[in-house]
């Protein structure tokens, strides 16, 4: 019987040796994250938190500026189509309104992209693996599987960006479950797979904390 | 002259294209603001529930951002509505 802190230190030193990531929470791979989740057991220690590569966060934030672009295009369209048809003050108000909403939607889209990146994650503890997906405003999913029920861990690496940045998708197959546990476009997928495999093997051998 | 033969004498403000556009614009201003604020509120509650499921320090920052988004939505909606109505 180990104390929770001892186990945490053991796990931390073991995972940190692999050089997989840092403890910084906003990194794509966070080692020994300081977090608590709803179904966490008393002796359960979060070991690894994995998110998509930050390049996709940057893409999301940059794509938010499309709203500004759309606003400018609409303003040009108003000028071309409504000039002469409506009075000048009305046209000015319409342009101001469009620009105001374009700025607002750009800010909202940025916050939405950041939240989507932040809450699409894969959490590995010494007991289980958790897949949290925040897809749309009304669609989120939280899938869990105990490590000893893991049967197969598949890593896929396809695509140009994936090859360039060493990204990959991880699919976890569990016994008797149809729920998909997967995370896409994460950095260092092979190292994540290794950590997951080691923890699963330890769990099966009952070498985890108990 | 008999008014009956001339037809009724209608007086009042002329219906111009400007007034029609003004009405449409006001309706759009009202609707857009309503949709924007509703989205911001739903987004905040979604983030809040996700944060309750997974409590982290950085998660608090995301919740604050979602709250700030509501403020942005209210400001944009109010100013947009004023622009559409005035």
CATH number of the domain bearing residue A139: 2.30.29
pLDDT of residue A3: 57
How, if at all, do strands B54-56 and A46-51 pair? unpaired
For residue A108, pLDDT beyond 90: yes
Is A195 a member of any domain? yes
In chain B, which residue's Cα lies nearest the Cα of A101? Answer: B76
Task: Write the pLDDT tens digit of every residue in B39-55.
Answer: 999 999 999 999 999 99
Mark yes or no for CB contact A108/B72 under 8 Å: yes
Mark yes or no for CB contact B50/A25 under 8 Å: no
Is A209 a member of any domain? no
For residue A61, pLDDT beyond 90: yes
The residues spanned by each domain of chain B are: 37-86
pLDDT of residue A138: 86
d(CA B68, CA B63): 9
Burial of B1 (0-12, 13-18, 19+ CB in 10 A): exposed
Which residues between 104 and 143 in chain A have a beta carbon less than 8 angstroms from any beta carbon of chain B?
A: 104, 107-108, 111-112, 114-115, 118-119, 121, 123, 132, 134, 137-138, 140, 142
How, if at all, do strands A181-187 and A128-136 pair? unpaired
> Cβ of A37 under 8 Å from any chain B Cβ?
yes
Say what percent of chain A tops pLDDT 90: 42
Does residue A125 share a domain with residue A167?
A: yes
Which H/E stretch holds residue A50?
strand A46-51
Confidence of residue A38 (pLDDT cuts 50, 70, 90): confident
Mark yes or no for CB contact A134/B46 under 8 Å: yes
More confident residue, A4 or A36: A36
**Token pair recorded at residue B1:** 């002259």
Does residue A124 share a domain with residue A47?
A: yes
Is A210 a member of any domain? no
pLDDT of residue B1: 44
- What's the domain count of chain A? 2
Does residue A34 share a domain with residue A20?
A: yes
For residue B7, pLDDT beyond 80: no
Q: Which residues contact A155 (CB under 8 A, 6 or more apart)?
A: A168, A169, A170, A171, A189, A190, A193
Does residue A130 share a domain with residue A111?
A: no
| Residue A158, min C-alpha distance to chain B (Å) | 30
Q: What is the mean pLDDT of residues A186-200?
A: 89
Mark yes or no for CB contact A90/B22 under 8 Å: yes
Task: Write the pLDDT tens digit of every residue in A141-150.
Answer: 999 998 888 8
Q: What angle do CA B41, A28, A7 make, to 5 degrees?
A: 105
Does residue A135 share a domain with residue A75?
A: no
Q: What is the mean pLDDT of residues A87-100?
A: 93
Mark yes or no for CB contact B39/A137 under 8 Å: yes
pLDDT of residue A66: 97
Does residue A86 share a domain with residue A48?
A: no
Average pLDDT across chain A, whole number: 86
Does residue A124 share a domain with residue A48?
A: yes
Q: What is the mean pLDDT of residues A127-150?
A: 90
For residue B5, pLDDT beyond 60: no
When scoring B16, B38, B56 by the number of chain A Cβ atoms within 10 A, the one with the most, hence best to mutate, is: B56
Q: What is the mean pLDDT of residues A131-145?
A: 90
Q: What is the mean pLDDT of residues A180-202?
A: 88
Mark yes or no for CB contact A93/B84 under 8 Å: yes
pLDDT of residue B60: 94
Confidence of residue A1 (pLDDT cuts 50, 70, 90): very low
Best mean pLDDT range from A34-38, A47-51, A133-137, B74-78: B74-78
When scoring B75, B76, B84 by the number of chain A Cβ atoms within 10 A, the one with the most, hence best to mutate, is: B76
Does residue A198 share a domain with residue A163?
A: yes
Tell which of A95, A115, A135 closes a domain.
Answer: A115
Q: What are the backbone dihedrals phi and psi of residue A180, each rounded to the nearest 5 degrees, phi first?
A: -85, 125
Is A164 a member of any domain? yes
**Token pair recorded at residue A26:** 């906003």
In chain A, which residue's Cα lies nearest the Cα of B66? Answer: A111
Question: Which residues constitute the domain of residue A109?
Answer: 59-115
More confident residue, B34 or A27: B34
A136-143 CB contacts, 8 Å cutoff, 24+ apart: A137/B39, A137/B42, A137/B43, A137/B46, A138/B42, A138/B46, A140/B46, A140/B49, A140/B50, A142/B53, A143/A179, A143/A180, A143/A181
Does residue A187 share a domain with residue A152?
A: yes
- Closest Cβ–Cβ partner in B47, B57, B65 for A34: B57
Does residue A186 share a domain with residue A90?
A: no
For residue B21, pLDDT beyond 90: no
Does residue A72 share a domain with residue A25?
A: no
pLDDT of residue B69: 97
| Total Cβ atoms within 10 A of residue A41 | 10
Does residue A124 share a domain with residue A111?
A: no
**ipTM, interface predicted TM-score of the complex:** 0.84
Tell which of A97, A115, A133 closes a domain.
Answer: A115
- The whole-model pTM stands at 0.85
For residue A46, pLDDT beyond 80: yes
Give chain B's radius of gyration (CA, Å): 24
pLDDT of residue A210: 45
């Amino acid at each position: 019987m180990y104390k929770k802190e001892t186990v945490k230190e053991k796990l931390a030193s073991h995972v940190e040796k692999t050089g997989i990531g840092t403890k910084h929470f906003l990194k794509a791979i966070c080692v020994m994250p300081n977090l608590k989740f709803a179904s966490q057991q008393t002796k359960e220690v979060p070991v690894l938190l994995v998110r998509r590569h930050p390049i996709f966060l940057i893409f999301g934030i940059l794509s938010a500026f499309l709203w500004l672009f759309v606003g400018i295009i609409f303003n040009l369209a108003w000028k071309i189509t409504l000039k002469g048809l409506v009075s000048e003050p009305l046209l000015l108000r319409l342009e101001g309104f469009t620009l105001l909403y374009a700025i607002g939607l750009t800010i909202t889209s940025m916050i939405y992209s950041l939240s989507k990146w932040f809450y699409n994650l894969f959490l590995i503890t010494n007991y289980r693996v958790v897949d949290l997906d925040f897809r749309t405003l009304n669609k989120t999913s939280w899938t869990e599987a105990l490590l000893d029920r893991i049967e197969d861990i598949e890593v896929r690496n396809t695509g140009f960006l994936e090859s360039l940045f060493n990204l990959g998708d991880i699919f976890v197959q569990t016994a008797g479950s149809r729920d998909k546990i997967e995370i896409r476009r994460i950095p260092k997928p092979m190292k994540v797979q290794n950590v997951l495999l080691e923890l699963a093997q330890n769990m099966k051998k009952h070498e985890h904390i108990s | 002259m008999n008014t009956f033969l001339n037809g009724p004498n209608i007086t009042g403000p002329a219906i111009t294209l400007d007034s029609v556009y003004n009405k449409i614009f006001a309706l759009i201003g009202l609707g857009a603001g309503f949709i924007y604020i509703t989205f911001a509120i739903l987004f905040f509650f979604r983030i809040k529930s996700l944060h309750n499921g997974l409590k982290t320090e950085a998660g608090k920052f995301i919740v604050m951002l979602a709250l700030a988004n509501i403020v942005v939505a209210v400001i944009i909606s109010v100013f947009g509505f004023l622009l559409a109505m005035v």
